Structure 1
């Protein structure tokens, strides 16, 4: 290797830290088996295990999913999933398993990293910490619990736990999954000291003023939990969730470093599909498991009430949203009054949560131009309908989908997303249950 290349590598290491550079070059982007990359807090098999009952529900023998993928229309769910990168697909209704299948050598006891589904689990721990009195309110500034941040950017004094939960931190942090050694997400994901990174953060705007999805927000929530409870984050999860829910397999929570042992609260949980479903069951049961209140029903309700002013994202969970249509099936409206009327006529009784918003549209194709000729080319009004269904979502479409009305839980884990609208597939299946 010539001297120029060696010098270049040396300076890159200095600028990004050798660990980040080495890990980014070696591992590239995130992978569903990344629990093998990092030191981990290991969650052991419980002595007492809860098992869902297996239903003799026969719907999937005849259910037509009618799903187009790569130029083929699939009618059978098994055949569709077999041709994707799905590892596990699980459907539970009324506390009974009605569909469970694993693909490409994956088994029920196998774990995989669920990435940002971990954020929703971190939200659960925030709720438990509030119930136990460790955190007095989501409106508390983070500096109340992380005193070190009093000496960092002064804007931290205005940053609340609620801002972090709703991704309205105002922090300067680009969620760039290209994972180059210079990106902040790479430094967070592959770095050895995430708290050190947090203390060096600056702000783009005042907290609470703008929504921007950022993993660093959940990383700070994880630190808040550790500082407030004076316990290791993963150990707190072990004691308050893992053991009480009688999980049946092992799991791991990735740490930044063996020395610091700070859990990756934003994306480090590796768990089996069946055990992830038990967290869904906890929310379906208003925070109760086996007659024990794990987290308050109030926290569950507040977490899952759609925040239409935050794009249906609240407390690290997504509310399922669809486009409102008028009586002719049109989803574009000339003005807000027409969109509002469509909600009142078609949706008001069933869906009380909605938002009417004006959106710029500059990429009309010829078909759209012909159909919507009466609309302005650049602007239209959109009606967003928020349902009582909600989900946790990780990259590559790790999904925990929950419908309280139908008492259903759907879990999808896989190596890639395959197609962007996995949530639509889950919604379509759930609608037929």
Structure 2
């Protein structure tokens, strides 16, 4: 009987402990590409007429790579660096597609911060729809309660460019820090009410996930009649003829808020379609999904008002050929090279000990 009571106490302790962010941090430990299984989510439905990339019969594909002076097959290089999927698409044709380390074509992986780039696209759609006036609007037009925290000068563009001046600790190893609160916490709206400013808006680039979550709250308030996942379904997932069902992770089940700084859960080929939309300046098979000007403004170099030359509107700028990319913490990438009409998708269990931007630039020279 005592043994049974002890087991019950341990079970109750685990249940209570797992309900708080510190407990979830300790139990789940560090982020993993299968984290979509741990969190509540809202579903995204596949298209009834999915778009399919053509597959090259004799595709131009990398054959080898050099690691510490030793030449190995490119597939071995990818596997050794904890890659689970890798696609190279040029002119709407798949030239290279590999799945490894226990993953396959239909395996779901979490986007992590690539979701930031998709959130940016949704902001562009909301402006096109007249739900948001423009990027110069102060965010207090949508989150008036932040006036008490001094956010009247913070604009939507400041959030997009990561120049809001938000006070936020991006540490992923501190169970008491902001990143743990946003990733493992169960009330993002409450957390967002407490945000403070660290620097004057528009003076300094500082990459913070909290900034994109604020952008998500602006988006939720702007669209009003539907949730963010429904808006993604309507504006992007259905129009881009996604091949598979997907989901967006939430902070909690009841009246949950999408984690717009991370956590869209999908397959590699469908992430590639986000790259195709960007490559085609917001157009999809003759229909303008988001305005061309939004794509241009999202990917141009702009160093005014504290903005970084390597980041713009939630997209990382990759330098050569006007390339840019969405990027996640464990080495999730959608790399777009307009000059080569090229898209590269890399998903990984870990980032791997390599410079992926350099790998993508090197691969671009093959085409």
TM-score by length of 1: 0.78
1:389-430 Cα shifts (integer Å, max 9, x gaps): 111111011011001111000000010011240111111111
Q: Distance in 1 between matches of 2:259 and 2:250?
A: 6
Pairing partner for 1:423 from 334, 357, 363? 357
Q: Distance in 2 between matches of 1:104 and 1:156?
A: 46
Partner residue, 1:313: 311
Partner residue, 1:174: 169
Secondary structure of the 1:266 match is coil
* Aligned 8 A contact 1:188 1:194 in 2: yes
* Aligned 8 A contact 1:32 1:113 in 2: yes
* Aligned 8 A contact 1:399 1:411 in 2: yes
* Aligned 8 A contact 1:319 1:387 in 2: no
Structure 1 stretches of 4+ moved >2 Å: 57-60, 63-67, 71-76, 147-150
| TM-aligned CA distance change 1:138 to 1:40, over 3 Å | same
Secondary structure of the 1:197 match is helix
Secondary structure of the 1:208 match is coil
* Aligned 8 A contact 1:88 1:411 in 2: yes
* Aligned 8 A contact 1:193 1:257 in 2: yes
Q: Report how far residue 247 of structure 1 moved.
A: 0.2
Q: Distance in 2 between matches of 1:161 and 1:252?
A: 25
Whether 1:302 aligns to 2:297 is: yes
Partner residue, 1:81: 78
Secondary structure of the 1:45 match is coil
1:257-286 Cα shifts (integer Å, max 9, x gaps): 111310000001111110000010001111
Partner residue, 2:95: 98
Q: Distance in 1 between matches of 2:167 and 2:286?
A: 44
Q: Distance in 1 between matches of 2:265 and 2:23?
A: 23
* Aligned 8 A contact 2:21 2:180 in 1: yes
| TM-aligned CA distance change 1:200 to 1:260, over 3 Å | same
Q: Report how far residue 72 of structure 1 moved.
A: 5.7
Partner residue, 2:131: 134
Partner residue, 2:252: 257
| TM-aligned CA distance change 1:46 to 1:188, over 3 Å | same
For 1:203-282, list aligned pairs within 5 A. 203-230=197-224, 231-282=226-277
Partner residue, 2:49: 48
* Aligned 8 A contact 1:65 1:76 in 2: yes
Whether 1:410 aligns to 2:344 is: yes
Q: Distance in 2 between matches of 1:114 and 1:307?
A: 26
Partner residue, 2:189: 195
Partner residue, 1:29: 30
Structure 1: runs of 5 or more not aligned: 1-9, 322-385
Q: Report how far residue 64 of structure 1 moved.
A: 4.8
TM-score by length of 2: 0.91
1:143-167 Cα shifts (integer Å, max 9, x gaps): 11122323x30x2111110010011
1:32-54 Cα shifts (integer Å, max 9, x gaps): 11111110011122211110111
1:159-217 Cα shifts (integer Å, max 9, x gaps): 11001001111111010011x32111101111111111011111111111111100001
Q: Distance in 2 between matches of 1:233 and 1:18?
A: 24
Count of residues paired in the alignment:
350
Task: Please report the RMSD computed on the Cα atoms of aligned residues, expressed in angstroms.
Answer: 1.9
Partner residue, 1:3: none
* Aligned 8 A contact 1:111 1:250 in 2: no
Q: Distance in 2 between matches of 1:275 and 1:139?
A: 32
Secondary structure of the 1:276 match is helix
Higher-RCO chain (CA-CA 8 Å, sequence separation at least 6): 2
Secondary structure of the 2:151 match is helix
Partner residue, 2:335: 401
Secondary structure of the 1:121 match is helix
Q: Distance in 1 between matches of 2:102 and 2:268?
A: 14
